[in-house]
Structure 1
Amino acid sequence: MSAVVCGKRSSYFFEDLNAPSSSSSSSSAAISPPISKRIRCSSSSPVRYSSTRFIAIDRLTLLFPHMDKQLLERALNECGDDIETAIKSLTELRLGTVENFTSVVNSVAGNESNQQFQPQANGFANGEHSQPQSEPVDGAEWVNLFVREMLSASNMDDARTRASRALELLEKSITERVTAEASGLQQENVMMKEQLQVLIQENALLKRAVTIQHERRKEFEDRGQELHNLKQMVSQYQEQLRTLEVSLPNSKNILSTLFSRSQICVHLTSKLNTLACSDCVFFFLIILQVNNYSLTMHLKQAQQGNSIPGRFHPDVF
């Protein structure tokens, strides 16, 4: 049996979808033919329209805007121009068509869902702890998994079982991922601690090396300063020897000897740069004392050999 609904264009699309259901049909509907059949079987004799009929058709058009106007007129004609009966008949016709269309759409969608996800649905329904072929990796895939399981459920108990098992799978996946991330973070923390210990040891060694280098540099500067002072002392003694040589021309040989000794002293001083500072100073002081003592003795001898004190020796002239 065919039905015509939802206007002129939609009437062709929904043909042959309005099949009668045994559960929703009443005893009166089983005895009397449907409205659409009665409309088709009605006479096509012209009907005289009155103002009351026009008002009824306008009311039906307002209540059922998606139905064809000819269908409304035929329904009103079949009901003997009774507007209430026509409204009731058209409402039953519309509800029956919508229910049939919905059942057809649901059956098609259910078949596609069962064909596509039958292995997973069977696994959850039978109580098996089987996991999907590829475990979801993000939120969108988990949502799709839940939707598929809910579509595959046959009743509320089955839906609860499927939801429980899906949640267990999600909890297991989250636990494994969190455990793996925590293990990775712990290993990274251990590596960072080891690197920190190595850096601390290297820092301590560098500090010690800098301290030793600073001490050596300070010691080298002190030795350089002492050597500079000794060189100044040698220069002063050389100047004193030159002054004595000018003031005592008769004791030139003695002064030359002393000057040669002072040169030897300077040479020894240059050689003492490789010795320790304390040893160098001690040795240099001994040499200076010996030179001073020799110079004093020679000067006394020169003064005693002069026959005319305060004058030049007569043999010189």
Structure 2
Amino acid sequence: MSALVCGKRSSSSSSIFEELLHAPLPSSKRPRRSASAVAAASAGGGAPSPAAALRLSPGRPSDRCGGNLAHLRALFPEMDQQFLERALEASGNDLDSTIKSLNNLHLESAETNLSSAFIESGSGISPNIQLVTEADGVNNGGAEAVAENPPAVENLPTDGSGWVELFVSEMMNASNMDDARARASRTLEVLERSIITRAGAEALESFHKENLLLKEHAEAMLRENTVLKRAVAIQHERQKEYDQMNQELQHLKQLVSQYQEQVKTLEINNYALSMHLRQAQQSGSIPGRFHPDVF
């Protein structure tokens, strides 16, 4: 969310100040640049920042924008007068647009430094915190200029009381209402990032624990599945044996029925033979006659 806010603020403020950076300076005004500022920029090993480049480009306010410039000096006492003049000229002497651009530029640089400091500080930090705000400096020409370095976070609170103390301290150190709003915005954004980071860490830890539980559950299910497979195999063998025994039983039943039919047939035959024997015995015994072989 803060990255989106930073992107929106940077897109709104960069259009004006890019024109200031790329605008050519008259040859009569170029020698008026501060030698110390040029030396500091060359010693830094890179191109100067937009704020420094604007401070190195002097300009004179016109008579009709003197009231606007005085109002800007009252709202931004920590900024260099030449920087305010250049910002007012870049916005076409529009006071509201200039104030909005300066606020966006100030908050943009503050958020960038707060983000980098928050990443470097980590999560295991003590609740004592100090936000180092603006430092005063004097250039070679004797003009007073406030360094526009935004606050850098050294430590982050770990409880609600620490954040309350930080917020109260920032409000007490504010020079005006705009500074108080900027400080409150920076502090709330740091708090939001801290909450998101801790919530992400807790969610990651919870996900890790849940993953371990799921692994243990999967291992238990694999063991149960192995036991179940063995039980199914044993049951299958028993079922095969039962089927074989059932087939043998059916075969034996068929044999028994066949044997019973044979027994009945034999009984009928035996009965018929016994009847024939009786009839033969009765017909062979005639009274008054003797067997010829006897005599």
**Same-fold call, TM > 0.5?**
no
> Please, what TM-score do these two structures have when normalized by structure 1?
0.31
> Please, what TM-score do these two structures have when normalized by structure 2?
0.32
Q: Which has the larger radius of gyration?
A: 1
Considering fraction of residues, name the structure with more helix.
1
Structure number with greater CO (CA < 8 Å, separation at least 6) is 2
Considering fraction of residues, name the structure with more strand.
2
